């Protein structure tokens, strides 16, 4: 692979967000530790996907309870990541519908009592507390009312405090004027009402909802009034992850370099997902590292140089 183009050093460090859903492959756990034992540049990891099911006591992480023994190593590693400065969030919802329908409450709805919301919300709150998550990503791919999402955000902030990170994961067209999307409410109205409580938007620029093969889709979002620092550009890390819209690293590198130059407070990138990330599927951390280089993150360049020097010195010593 030819060298990736690098952007000028930005005035601030963009976010590099890795979604993590495939926790096991061929019966073996997929470790997150390479993100900290290498100069990956990752700032946030989002664990997918938490589901609020019809039985409120049967909250699941993917298909199993969060306390299932298959997740023991995951929760142990999360503590290590957090101790290393990486923030870890949970992702609620996604393609599997139902979570947000069960949490959709507002005072104006006479058909949904507050007690129903509390019944479904309590296990989610307890899970966040038990595992010490730094925040929650709301991936709303079903109809939800604007008052309902506002109520959920307000409750999370009330329970976990102002430093608790709340993000949303809309398809990119949801941030464009008059374009179709999946969430059922107007994101501009939500931003006007609760923008101070939303850290950023992990916008999905794939599967036909806007692409990252050029800057056009991101530019359209900025023209629609969204501040670049709140829009993280989401992309697939491998075409094998399903859907469409994968952009090869060489091209996405060029696009990211332009975005960083055009928008000094560019919000960063997110990748779906950590497992099998290119450019080397067996070294998942390298996708984040490549993104950091593309966006000109000086601390990652410097760390890479130090690691390379140490390895060369160790090799020289072994050769004596």
Q: What's the gap between Cα 45 and its chain centre?
A: 6
pLDDT at 297: 66
Burial class (CB in 10 A: 0-12, 13-18, 19+), 91: buried
The confidence score (pLDDT) of residue 312 equals 47
Structure tokens, 89 = 């969030």
All domains of the chain, ordered by start, with CATH? 15-318 (3.20.20.80)
Cis amide linkage into residue 297, ω under 30° from 0: no
pLDDT, one tens digit per residue, over 198-241 is 999 999 999 989 899 999 999 999 999 999 999 999 999 999 98
- Report the C-alpha gap between 110 and 108 in whole angstroms: 6
CA 97 to chain centre: 19
Whether pTM exceeds 0.85: yes
Q: How, if at all, do strands 44-51 and 135-139 pair?
A: unpaired
What is the model's pLDDT at position 108? 73
Give the model confidence (pLDDT) of 273-302 as tens digits. Answer: 999 999 999 999 999 999 999 888 655 555
Give the E-state strand segments of 117-199 in sequence order: 135-139, 165-168
Measured CA distances, 155 to 104, 111, 121, 151 (Å): 12, 20, 9, 6
pLDDT tens series, the chain, 320 aa: 555 555 455 556 799 999 999 999 999 999 999 999 999 999 999 999 999 999 999 999 999 999 999 999 999 999 999 999 999 999 999 988 999 999 999 877 777 788 999 999 999 999 999 999 999 999 999 999 999 999 999 999 999 999 999 999 999 999 999 887 889 899 999 999 999 999 999 999 999 898 999 999 999 999 999 999 999 999 999 999 877 999 999 999 999 999 999 999 999 999 999 999 999 999 999 999 999 998 886 555 555 444 444 444 445 454 54
Q: What per-residue confidence (pLDDT) applies to 250? A: 92
Q: Are the C-beta atoms of residues 168 and 135 closer than 8 Å to each other?
A: no
- pLDDT for the residue numbered 313: 42
Instruction: Please state, in angstroms and rounded to a whole number, the distance separating the CA atoms of residues 44 and 81.
Output: 9
DSSP lists the bridge partners of residue 171 as 204
Q: Report the phi/psi class of residue 289: left, alpha or beta, with left for phi > 0 and alpha for psi in -120 to 50.
A: alpha
**Nearest-10 crossing angle of helices 187-194, 146-160:** 40
Task: Give strand pairing partners of 123.
Answer: none
Please, which residues have CB within 8 angstroms of residue 232's CB and are 6 or more apart in sequence? 15, 17, 200, 201, 202, 203, 267, 268, 269, 270
Return d(Cα 304, Cα 164) in angstroms, integer.
Answer: 31
Find out whether 171 and 211 touch, Cβ atoms under 8 Å. no
What integer pLDDT is reported at residue 44 of this predicted model? 98
Phi, psi of 32, rounded to the nearest 5 degrees:
-90, -10
């Amino acid at each position: 692979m030819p060298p990736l183009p690098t952007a000028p050093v930005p005035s601030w460090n963009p976010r590099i967000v890795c979604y993590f859903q495939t926790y096991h492959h061929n019966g073996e756990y997929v470790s997150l530790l390479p993100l900290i034992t290498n100069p990956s540049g990752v700032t946030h990891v989002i664990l997918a996907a938490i589901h609020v099911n019809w039985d409120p006591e049967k909250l699941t992480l993917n298909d199993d309870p969060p306390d299932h023994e298959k997740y023991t190593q995951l929760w142990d590693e999360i503590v290590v990541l957090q101790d290393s400065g990486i923030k870890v969030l949970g992702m609620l919802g996604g393609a599997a519908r139902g979570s947000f329908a069960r949490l959709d409450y507002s005072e104006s709805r006479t058909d949904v009592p507050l007690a129903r919301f509390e019944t479904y919300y309590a296990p989610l709150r307890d899970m966040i507390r038990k595992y010490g998550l730094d925040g929650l990503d709301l991936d709303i791919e079903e109809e939800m009312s604007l008052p309902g999402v506002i109520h959920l955000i307000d409750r999370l902030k009330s329970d976990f405090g102002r430093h608790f990170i709340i993000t949303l994961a809309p398809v990119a067209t949801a941030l464009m004027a008059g374009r179709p999307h999946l969430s059922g409410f107007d994101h501009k109205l939500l931003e006007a009402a609760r923008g101070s409580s939303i850290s950023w938007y992990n916008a999905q620029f794939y599967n036909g909802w806007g692409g990252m093969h050029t800057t056009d889709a991101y530019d359209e979002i900025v023209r629609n009034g969204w501040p670049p620092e709140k829009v993280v550009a989401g992309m697939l890390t491998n075409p094998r992850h399903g859907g469409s819209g994968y952009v090869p690293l060489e091209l996405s590198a060029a696009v990211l370099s332009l975005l960083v130059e055009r928008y000094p407070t560019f919000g960063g990138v997110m990748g779906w997902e950590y497992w099998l990330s290119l450019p080397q599927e067996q070294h998942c951390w390298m996708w984040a590292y490549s993104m950091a280089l593309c966006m000109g993150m000086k601390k990652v360049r410097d760390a890479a140089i130090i690691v390379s020097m140490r390895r060369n010195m160790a090799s020289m010593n072994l050769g004596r």
